[in-house]
Amino acid sequence: MALASVSKVVLGSVAFGVFWVLAVFPSVPFMPIGRTAGALLSAVLMIIFHVISPDDAYASVDLPILGLLFATMVVGTYLKNAGMFKHLGTLLAWKSQGGRDLLCRVCIVTALASALFTNDTCCVVLTEFVLELAAERNLPAKPFLLALASSANIGSSATPIGNPQNLVIAFNSKISFPKFLLGILPAMLAGMAVNMVMLLCMYWKDLEGTSPDLVSDGKQMETVEEGMASKTPSPAKLTNGGGYSSPLMTEDISTKHPWFMQCTEQRRKLFLKSFAYIVTVGMVIAYMVGLNMSWTAITTAIALVVVDFRDAEPCLDKVSYSLLVFFSGMFITVSGFNKTGLPGAIWNFMAPYSKVNSVGGISVLSIIILLLSNLASNVPTVLLMGGEVASAAALISPAAVIRSWLLLAWVSTVAGNLSLLGSAANLIVCEQARRAPRNAYDLTFWNHIVFGVPSTLIVTAVGIPLIGKINV
């Protein structure tokens, strides 16, 4: 795309700059309006400055992605209250053999869970429980918080539903769920192992601690969840990716439906929990066979709401609508910025050096993605670069197109580990730990970056050769 007029380029860049500043620093002194309002402001500026027309602005909002995000929030809420994350917490504590064993468990469980339940959800639910486990063993909180945040980001790279940028890539690339999973899974597993080894090496001496007798029936996790539920507002709502794991179904399930009233309370609980697990497994299977992800997730969410036999309004109130509004504003902003022609011009300059059929080209492309993901955030980076990278790869081969999308997913996701501001999951862990009612810990920017920089560079480099090695 050719550059637009000078005025359009300047005004479009100003509007995008407003979005970037408020997305990275949502509480800047001169305009502390937050990320969501910042995204809306920049979208409105794109229209006021005539960078994009109102009709084009509406058309740029990706409804399938918003529908999938909405449904995932509802399903995640039901799963939490069906005890899914309590079981994950119990798995972390069961017969733990000291600090190093616990750190490895945090890395593995978090990475695998994040691939299916999103990185942000896992960080919201597990942060305080990990703090509790570390405190009981007289272990420092920092290595476990770093393990939780970094493993959540790495694990979420493996599936289209693991994080928001992967959703964008899956929809724009039309890569099926199985092909996406198998294309990135080897890199994810290798990255998870390397990240875990780096944590062990860096904090080996700090991971000495006591090994108290642990309760394996989930009571610890229940205590943590009660503490989380009592806090308002939820720290997750302070970030782009949070706010959708608040309690919906309570343990004391009640309904006026005649069929349920004839059952015992225990059977009603068992039925609703079992149904939540069953339909979620069905949702994943539907993804695997290639059904439309957005409508599959929406159907699953509605099935859970209907079988609950209660007014759906409390369920819908738990959805993080601010996240959906943020994405809508971001879609318009990025579309307007693309119309200035500036991203295309920059890419045209870099494209000859960023071909995915050479080691040097992949290295240059990865560095560009890594830097942009930390400067402009990973989702805008994917929106800005996805089409351009795929178009350049199409000149090589169809296989190169798929690999370029998968590389974009891998590098943009792992790039979130570079700094505390690189990922919403990082911010969730930081806020949850700082506001914990017990064993609170302040994970600072510098504490994170000392581990984040080497981990990001090494994990990214280890994973890149493994991307796309398994074909479906």
What are 350-360's pLDDT values in tens digits?
888 888 888 99
Q: Does the pLDDT of residue 163 top 80, yes or no?
A: yes
Q: Is the pTM of this model over 0.95?
A: no
* CB environment 435-465: b (16+ within 10 A), e (fewer): ebeeeebebeeebbbebbeebbbbbbebbbe
pLDDT for position 244: 34
Spatial distance between the Cα atoms of 144 and 162, rounded to a whole number of angstroms: 21
Residue 154 is assigned to a structural domain of this protein? yes
Spatial distance between the Cα atoms of 30 and 19, rounded to a whole number of angstroms: 14
Least confident segment among 94-103, 298-307, 461-470: 94-103
* Residue 48 pLDDT grade (very low, low, confident, very high; cuts 50, 70, 90): very high
pLDDT for position 443: 81
Residue 376 is assigned to a structural domain of this protein? no
Residue 304 is assigned to a structural domain of this protein? yes
Residue 339 is assigned to a structural domain of this protein? no
Q: Does the pLDDT of residue 246 top 50, yes or no?
A: no
DSSP state, 311?
A: -
Residue 292: how many CA atoms within 13 Å on its side-chain side? 10
Closest CA to 167 of 219, 175, 312: 175
pLDDT for position 243: 37
Per the prediction, the chain carries an average pLDDT of 81
Q: What angle do CA 139, 140, 146 make, to 5 degrees?
A: 120
Residue 335 is assigned to a structural domain of this protein? no
pLDDT digits (tens, 9 = 90+) for 381-435: 888 888 888 988 998 999 899 999 999 999 999 998 998 767 778 877 887 788 7
pLDDT digits (tens, 9 = 90+) for 423-445: 778 877 887 788 777 778 888 87
Q: How many CB atoms lie within 10 A of CB 314?
A: 12
Q: Does the pLDDT of residue 250 top 50, yes or no?
A: no
Spatial distance between the Cα atoms of 141 and 133, rounded to a whole number of angstroms: 9
Q: Which range, 110-124, 298-312, 392-406, is most confident?
A: 392-406
- For the chain, helix, strand, coil in percent to 5 are 75, 0, 25
Length of the chain: 472
pLDDT for position 203: 92
For residues 171-200, average pLDDT = 93
Spatial distance between the Cα atoms of 396 and 407, rounded to a whole number of angstroms: 15
Structure tokens at 429: 């862990």
Is-contact 251 318, C-beta < 8 A?
no
Q: Residue 258's domain spans which residues?
A: 64-317
pLDDT digits (tens, 9 = 90+) for 315-346: 777 777 887 888 899 889 988 988 888 887 88
Is-contact 251 269, C-beta < 8 A?
yes
Sign of CA dihedral 442, 447, 453, 458: negative
Residue 224 is assigned to a structural domain of this protein? yes
Q: Does the pLDDT of residue 146 top 90, yes or no?
A: yes
Residue 30 is assigned to a structural domain of this protein? no
Contacts (Cβ under 8 Å, ≥6 apart) of 307: 272, 275
Residue 424 is assigned to a structural domain of this protein? no
Spatial distance between the Cα atoms of 16 and 34, rounded to a whole number of angstroms: 15
* Residue 45 pLDDT grade (very low, low, confident, very high; cuts 50, 70, 90): very high
Q: How many CB atoms lie within 10 A of CB 92?
A: 22
Q: Is residue 213 left, alpha or beta, with left meaning phi > 0 and alpha meaning psi from -120 to 50?
A: beta
Is-contact 165 378, C-beta < 8 A?
yes
* Number of compact structural domains in the chain: 1
Is-contact 36 9, C-beta < 8 A?
no
